[in-house]
Structure 1
Amino acid sequence: MTRPRKKSNSGLPSNLYFDIRRKTYRYRRATDGKWYPFGTDRLKAIDAAKQLNLEYMKGRDLVALVMGESTMTLAAYIEQYRTTILPKRELKKGTLDLYAVHFRKINKALGQKPINEITVRIVADFLRDSTPRSSNQVRALLMNVFTHAIADGLIPDNPAASTIAQKEKKKRKRHTQEGLKAIRDASPQWLKNAIDLALLTALRRGDVLEMRFDKMEDGFLSVIQEKTSEEADTAWIKYELTPELLKVIEQCRDDVDSPFLVHRKPERMHATEHKEHWSKVERRYLTRAFQEAREAAGCYAGWTKEELPGFHEIRAVSVKLYTRSGEDAQKIAGHATAEMTKNYLRDEEDVTWTKVSPNLDITKITE
């Protein structure tokens, strides 16, 4: 991986630098390292640098032609990026799965194009066909891919970085109690269990799916909450085994020998070889199952696809119900606190566990 550019040079094309002391721009010719003054006009300096970089890249293409080298396609470079660069970033499985979806979409539209022929216009047109959220996710991924391609000498500039991120306007609505009850009634038992646990604990989808029977000890169920990348800590929570929680846990017990509270017997066992346990429910599968149950329930008539709430929005219902009942919703949900930031530096046996009592009455939804 290349060394990050200084803040003063961020956003500038390759080989163009800003001299903070003189308040001017200068260009470094890649062939011999010679410096050229480019004045104080930022736009003119950027335009000139891009033209020069392009000319040098054209020369590189001619050399490659004489030497019999083939131009690498975007799909080929993405495969190189996926196998050699992504493993070093040690990303979570959920992130890698999302990247895989984005890569398939990118390769389908742009994969066969030579990477050095992909322009800002091509990327902008491609991103325009997606929703703002998906477009921004793909844009960020492409920016990183092209950054590494620059470092490998394949392209002079980053075409994705020159596009503008779309403004994301949240359209998804909240669940109503009546709507969530209808969805739960239309769900298979394992999904009902997941919904009930989400209501009682206000946990996210991934955390609900990680809850285990063997984490019950001394009257508590322990959960190490996985936070998103925007948040600063990992929440270590002990949920008191209240009558309400015990009822749902017993509801989770069946004839399937699984360590996970939320589990199911898959239709095809050979598809489970990469799972931690064959009975574990994957996040994307839960999302699809919840969407199918929501469709079968026929609730939220007239709402657009963008407005329909998913499994994640159960968290908002839980927090709202706890607040109404006079409980500390922030504590129940395991929201970030200054004290919990210290947990990154501790071993599991040394962390500060937050003890909460999931005692919410959810019978209006579950019965």
Structure 2
Amino acid sequence: MGSTIPRTYQDNLTEAKTLLAVFGGMRPCDVRPMHVAQYLDVRGKKAPVRANREKSLLSHIFSMAMRWGVVDSNPCRGVARNTEKGRDRYLIDAEFMAVKHIAGDFIATVMDFAYLTALRKGDIFALRLEQITAEGIYIKQGKTGMKQIFEWIPTLREVIARPRALPRPIRGLYLFCTRRGQPYTDAGFKAMWNRVQVKWAESGGERFTFHDIRAKALTDAKRHGLDAQALAGHTSSATTDHYIKMKKFRKVTPLL
């Protein structure tokens, strides 16, 4: 599967190509806020969320250009982003268990680990065996840099034991590694996950993303009175609340 390239970097490369196709022929000093707004409007008709991400990258580029003295201002500032609709998919326990049943041992183990830790996919596949200690599992989140230690509980020990018991190359330094001892790439795991979701859909289930497992974990943590913010590794409670607010269910007693 090859070595892992951070997901954000991969996304930035794709975004940069799209931006170059539109702004590549312009001098930086000629780009005005109206051009950025027009880009968001046109691009937003098909991909409003992706347009927002591309605008963020463009803004960062202009911030650096200001620092280098190439331009005097950032034309992205003050330009409103496209409205984004929060994803409200909540994965119920029965769905989670059903997908694990058809997914096979490896995917089921990754799902369990993702649920227990609420870690992002990139952090899961970057986890090295040396990070698993007697104290717990040490993590430095790739996206935020947040440092965490997941303390041992029986269910976490059981899940960790599964991949460690599998035959692995002598040089396999990662908890979840390929036959060559390398971490799974985003594209490689995505292909495996997609096959599972196709089978799930064919059986009558509603497809969901791997990231929806993180949303389920944070939502369930908050509902059970646990510290969802600490579990998520977010620097502010507002980020956590925004992340899970669309995924909470209120229990209602029907009429007798």
TM bin (shorter chain): 0.5 to 0.7
In structure 1, give the amino acid aligned to 2:116.
L
Q: How far apart are residue 228 of structure 1 and its match?
A: 4.6
Of 211, 216, 219, the match for 1:317: 216
Instruction: Specify the SS of the correspondent of 1:298.
Output: helix
In structure 2, give the amino acid aligned to 1:263.
C
Alignment match, 1:197: 113
In structure 1, give the amino acid aligned to 2:52.
N
In structure 1, give the amino acid aligned to 2:185.
E
Q: Point out the structure with max Rg over C-alpha.
A: 1
TM-score, normalisation: structure 1: 0.50
Tell me how far apart the structure 2 counterparts of residues 211 and 146 of structure 1 sit (CA, whole Å): 34
Quick check: 1:247 aligned with 2:247? Answer: no
TM-score, normalisation: structure 2: 0.68
Q: Aligned residues: percent identity?
A: 18
Report if aligned partners of 1:124, 1:163 keep a CA contact under 8 Å in 2: yes
Of 42, 46, 54, the match for 1:138: 54
Alignment match, 1:226: 141
Q: How far apart are residue 127 of structure 1 and its match?
A: 2.4
Report if aligned partners of 1:183, 1:297 keep a CA contact under 8 Å in 2: yes
Q: How far apart are residue 262 of structure 1 and its match?
A: 1.6
Quick check: 1:265 aligned with 2:153? Answer: no
Of 2, 13, 22, the match for 1:100: 13
Structure 1 residues 123 and 292, CA gap change in structure 2 (3 angstroms):
farther
In structure 1, give the amino acid aligned to 2:22.
A
In structure 2, give the amino acid aligned to 1:256.
R
Q: Structure 1 or 2: larger helix share?
A: 2
Of 196, 199, 211, the match for 1:293: 196
Report if aligned partners of 2:117, 2:150 keep a CA contact under 8 Å in 1: no
Report if aligned partners of 1:225, 1:237 keep a CA contact under 8 Å in 2: no
Q: Structure 1 or 2: larger strand share?
A: 1
Gaps of 5+ in 2: 237-256
Tell me how far apart the structure 2 counterparts of residues 159 and 279 of structure 1 sit (CA, whole Å): 42
Tell me how far apart the structure 2 counterparts of residues 234 and 226 of structure 1 sit (CA, whole Å): 6
Instruction: Specify the SS of the correspondent of 1:237.
Output: strand
Which gives a bigger RCO, structure 1 or 2 (Cα 8 Å, sep 6+)? 2
Q: How far apart are residue 142 of structure 1 and its match?
A: 0.8
Tell me how far apart the structure 1 counterparts of residues 121 and 60 of structure 2 sit (CA, whole Å): 28
Of 83, 95, 98, the match for 1:179: 95
Report if aligned partners of 1:260, 1:280 keep a CA contact under 8 Å in 2: yes
Query: How many pairs align?
Result: 226
Gaps of 5+ in 1: 1-91, 267-277, 339-367
Q: How far apart are residue 287 of structure 1 and its match?
A: 4.3
